[in-house]
Structure 1
Amino acid sequence: MPNAAEKIAHIEAALRHRFFPLVPERAQRWTVEQHEVDRCSRSLAAYALCGMCGIADATAAGALVDGSDDGGIDALYFDRARQRLIVVQSKYKRPNNADNPQGTGPNQAETLKFINGTKALMERRFDGFNAAVRNRLDEIEEALDTPGVKICLILPFLGEALDVHAKADLDAFVAQCNNLSDCMSAAVVGITQTYDWMVAEQANQAVDVRLTLEKWSSVTAPRKAVYGLVKGQDLAALVTEHGTALFERNIRHYLGSVGVNVAIEETVRRRPEDFFYLNNGITAVTAAITQAPGSADRCVFGLAAFSIVNGAQTAGSITTASLAAAISENAKLHITIIEVPDPADDFAVRVTRARNYQNQVRGVDFAALDPNQERIRQELAAVGIRYHYRPSAESRIRQDDAFTLEEAALALACLAFVVTDGPRRGHRGQNAIDFVVIAKREIGRIWEQEGAIYSNLFPASISGIRICRLVRIYQFIDRILAGSERAETAYDRRMFFRHGRYFIMAFVAHRLPRLIAKAAPGLTAEEEREISQETNHLSEVIFATSRAMQVDRGFLAIFRNLTDAQPLAEKVLLRLAELDAAHNPQPPASAAAPALAQAATDQA
């Protein structure tokens, strides 16, 4: 899971993506940074309304009243369904220490202003408010005239706890208002709550369907299941209505009209009566099976949380065929539906794995069964990034706002670990050289879910924001090195840039740890310049250091074998230390002594 700094970066990226088009700059002579902080603050107020009330972004943005003479109130919304008047004061103070984001909420003076502004609303003293508040007077007065209405004070900010003095004033105000009845509440919306809302919004909703089976039968022990024939046209209608949500537990989505899928489409269109005999059928799991009155020849079943776990290509191909022309009623296929009532039961995963092993699949396909991958997808979806961890037709199209699990795994292998020398191997965690050699020699091993490498690349603690940043850095460096390869005329240098890319990337990460670890999904222009300079510098250092090893082997052999790559890494580390020492010579012994003494004291 993400740390506090990554949650803040996630929130800011999501606010920019969702609300900046709805929250323009004010007509103020502010710096760019002041405008950005102001827009983030107003966007955070709007998003708090989305999280609290489930309203649309545009509706929430329309409820903003922030500005001069706002009484400390940034947004107002009457939630008629729940009889709540939501009053928001948001603060967007970026913490000095993102790992411990305290003091980012409103201070005592700001909280008192908010309290006084709310009092003025309750007492209908509207004259002192700005036009934005007065434009909402009909809504405000409707709320205040509603018996049983509750005034909910909401304080979103980039922290978790309110200042102790501000909290005391707020608690006293709420207690005073609740003297007769429970008519007011106050809630802090910290970064964890905001982050959780944003991620939860991206979860796929369970699909409940009704499906007609013909010539069906069932088993009841040890698990309930039904099986029979389903019409291709009924299956196509389900896919058209629910899309990829129908394959939530599958390892792949529909891959498009490629390979065997073309043959499936042809059979459905031209020989529908043969389809049952030529197709393996599909398998699905469901949380509950309910049966309507029927017969063994035909019966309608209600299927809760229905998901096709094997047969995405068949279902997708039938749907594609249906777009060209109506499918014959004679096109039928076998379906097995297994009831798995408990979401925590891993039997559904076992069914998916077993049924798909009968097909031609890759190791990366089974990574889709890791729930961690769905969490990462949801995190990235909240900031406008599409993460394809299931193979699909869409995932093969390169887009700026999307990347795949394969790209993520490569970026993590090249950039997420420390380069260590021989004596310290095994004592400082995973060594980057191990990963880049494996990526060069056997790339499929880095995304095999059952392997030890996969769990190191995708631990439960990793965040979508960190993965996105590493992918962006990986892509940027890869473009630089690809350009260097194209520009070279000497064969050995072309081969160096072709086969040494992962190795070079590991050293870029080694030399720029703060830039690599920064909690931000993308790169600034200044960061790109720094990465570009370091990449070109390290490329020359590594190339020069590797020349002695080239006597009896080529660069492909060097970079795909640990027995060559690790000694090269240690020589590069030594060379970089020499260059650093030459560039930053040590001060005289007398000047260095106090610093050494202090270091010794600190360690004691």
Structure 2
Amino acid sequence: MNVIRTGKPEGSPELLARITHARNRQNPVRDRDFVSLDPTQSLISEEMFILGLQYTHRRGEPDPTPEQGCSVVEAAISLACAHSNPRLVVGAKQNVETLWDRSVGGTYGLLFGEEPGAPQIWGSVRLRRAVGNQLHELSQKLQGRAFALAERGDLLIAHLVFQYMDPKEMNSDEYDWDEAVAQAIPLTTRALPWLLHHMDAAHSSTAPASITRILSDPKLCRDLVSLTLRDLHAGSEAPPVSTDYRAKAHQHPRKPRRPSSATILLNAGELGPGTPLEFRPLNSTEEAALRDWLTEDGRRSRATWTNNRRYSLLWEFDGKHHSPSGLVMTMYELAGWEESPIAVQGATRWYIEGERMDRRAERILEKLEEE
């Protein structure tokens, strides 16, 4: 949707947003906050409302149910899947904060700079959901690398489906999204084995590479997408999935319960005592609930690593030892958050050198499993 720009009076919300943004560029983690001030997001919300849908773009707003609409996060991820450059989905899969990069050439401008219309956004969300649901169904009959690709490669495969359908036409008011969503299901079924085939060919036992490393490398992903699209467009029959990747009858390809992230890191011996950790809220609701309390004292967001197997974190605020999850629950209590969850995965909130604790543990575990 094209919007005619007019001059704004001094002190307008748009001007104030730009000034605030300029003064705070040194803190990229806060880019998500500026999205709420972007007039484009308000326009999208109005368009979605006309379609009878909800669209949330402000922190703290409860996300609508899948039938009612979507959030700006889901919209951005879906538009990233539709973009021709796979680096966008590679970045989003690693850290959703990359979607709010507002620098020149940054992801946010690539996705929302031309103000995509509500029909395109909602259609993209529906299509990506269809791909994800189909991958989940397929994964129930898979194991090993095939299962991991279906579960963790969902955004890359959604990107494949979008590119096969030629997203250049998707901003047209006449585009048939119902037909596109219907086609996405069988196309996903074809795309998964082709992508797995090329992944195995390029990264077999003679060139080992974990799923995580492959999916986090934009160049590797670009090459795999190119090869897979070539075969999909050729109409060739999808290669059969190896029996090694097929789950046994009546066997669910569930992973055994793995050790905690703290245990994995302790066993690996990667972290020395005193390694700093930083707390970051997992979602907008948690961020809103803890923001003021954390800001009051910077020590509340900091801890250091210890070799204590039960209480691996030393909290700078109270000088006591805590488990990662236990410390988060303690923080909830001290902050007076009455609507906090009853249980929490603490490793998803603590960061080690900019990397989330649970993701570092997963990377180590994958390496050990492959060895």
TM-score under structure 1 normalisation? Answer: 0.34
| Alpha-carbon distance change, 577 to 2 in structure 1, aligned in 2, over 3 angstroms | same
**Aligned Cα root-mean-square deviation (Å):** 3.5
Cα deviation for residue 543 of structure 1 reads 1.3
Letter in 1 for 2:162: A
Q: Is residue 225 of structure 2 the alignment partner of residue 558 of structure 1?
A: no
* Cα-to-partner distance string for 1:435-488 (whole Å, 9 max, x where unaligned): 222222333111233461110011234212211111111112111112222x13
Establish whether residue 346 from structure 1 lines up as the match of residue 15 from structure 2.
yes
Asked whether 1:404 is paired with 2:71, we answer yes
The 5-angstrom pairing of residues 316-331 of structure 1 reads none
Render the CA deviation track for 1:378-432: whole Å, top value 9, x for unaligned. 111112111111122423x5341121111011000002x23xxxxxxxxxxxxx2
Q: How far off its partner does 1:433 sit?
A: 1.7
The runs of 5 or more residues in structure 1 that have no matched partner are 4-195, 197-339, 419-431, 583-604
Identify the residue that residue 191 of structure 2 maps to in structure 1.
538
Match of 1:423 in 2: none
Find the structure with the greater CA-based Rg: 1
Q: Does 1:374 align with 2:27?
A: no
Q: Is the alpha carbon distance of 1:353 and 1:479 closer, same or farther for their aligned partners in structure 2, counting shifts above 3 Å?
A: farther
Counterpart in 1 of 2:107? 453
Distance 1:469 1:544, change over 3 A: same
Shift in CA distance, 400/572, structure 1 to aligned 2, threshold 3 Å: same
Match runs of 1:43-62 below 5 Å: none
Q: How does 1:284-433 map to 2 (within 5 A)?
A: 342-343=11-12, 346-347=15-16, 350-351=19-20, 362-395=30-63, 397-415=64-82, 417-418=83-84, 432-433=85-86
Structure 2 counterparts to residues 25-64 of structure 1, below 5 A: none
> What SS is found at the alignment partner of 1:380?
helix
Q: CA deviation at 1:346?
A: 1.8
- Which of 453, 468, 480 aligns to 2:122? It is 468
2: CA distance between counterparts of 1:489 and 1:580? 22
Q: Which residue of the partner structure matches residue 280 of structure 1?
A: none
Residue identity opposite 1:381 in structure 2: F
Q: 1 or 2 for the larger relative contact order (CA 8 Å, sep ≥6)?
A: 2
In structure 2, what is the equivalent of residue 441 of structure 1? 94
Correspondence 1:484 to 2:138: yes
Counterpart amino acid of 2:213?
Answer: A
8 Å Cα contact 1:366/1:448 also seen in 2 = no
Q: Deviations over 1:468-522 (max 9, x none)?
A: 111111112111112222x134221110112221121112112222785553798
Which residue of the partner structure matches residue 503 of structure 1?
A: 156
Higher fraction of strand:
1
The answer for the alignment partner of 2:297 in structure 1 is none
Please state how far the C-alpha of 1:537 moved relative to its aligned partner.
1.0
- Taking the aligned partners of 2:126 and 2:32, their CA distance within structure 1 comes to 21
| TM-aligned CA deviation for residue 367 of structure 1 | 1.1
Tell me which residue corresponds to 1:570: 226
Residue aligned with 1:365, SS: helix
Q: CA deviation at 1:342?
A: 4.2
Cα pair distance change 1:370/1:569, threshold 3 Å: same
Q: Distance in 2 between matches of 1:558 and 1:353?
A: 36
> For the residues of structure 1 that align with 2:116 and 2:97, how far apart are their CA atoms?
21
- In 2 relative to 1, CA 500–347 (structure 1 residues): closer, same or farther, beyond 3 Å? closer
Distance 1:521 1:361, change over 3 A: farther
8 Å contact kept, 1:495–1:556? no
**DSSP 3-state at the match of 1:394:** coil
Unaligned runs of 5+ in 2: 239-371
Give the total of aligned pairs: 230
Task: Say whether the 8 Å CA contact 2:160–2:229 is kept in structure 1.
Answer: no
Structure 1 residue 536: deviation in Å? 0.6
Question: Identity of paired residues, percent?
Answer: 19
State how 1:135-154 maps to structure 2 within 5 Å. none
SS in 1 for 2:182: helix
Q: Once the two structures are superposed, what CA deviation does each residue of 1:332-385 show, in whole Å capped at 9, x if it has no partner?
A: xxxxxxxx9642772465358869999x97432221121111111111111211
Which SS does the other structure have where 2:36 is aligned? Answer: helix
Q: How does 1:19-30 map to 2 (within 5 A)?
A: none
Separation of aligned partners in 2, 1:537 and 1:348: 45
TM-aligned CA distance change 1:401 to 1:356, over 3 Å: farther
SS in 1 for 2:59: coil
Q: How much has 1:527 moved relative to structure 2?
A: 4.3
TM-score by length of 2: 0.54
Is the contact between residue 465 and residue 521 of structure 1 (CA under 8 Å) also seen in structure 2? no
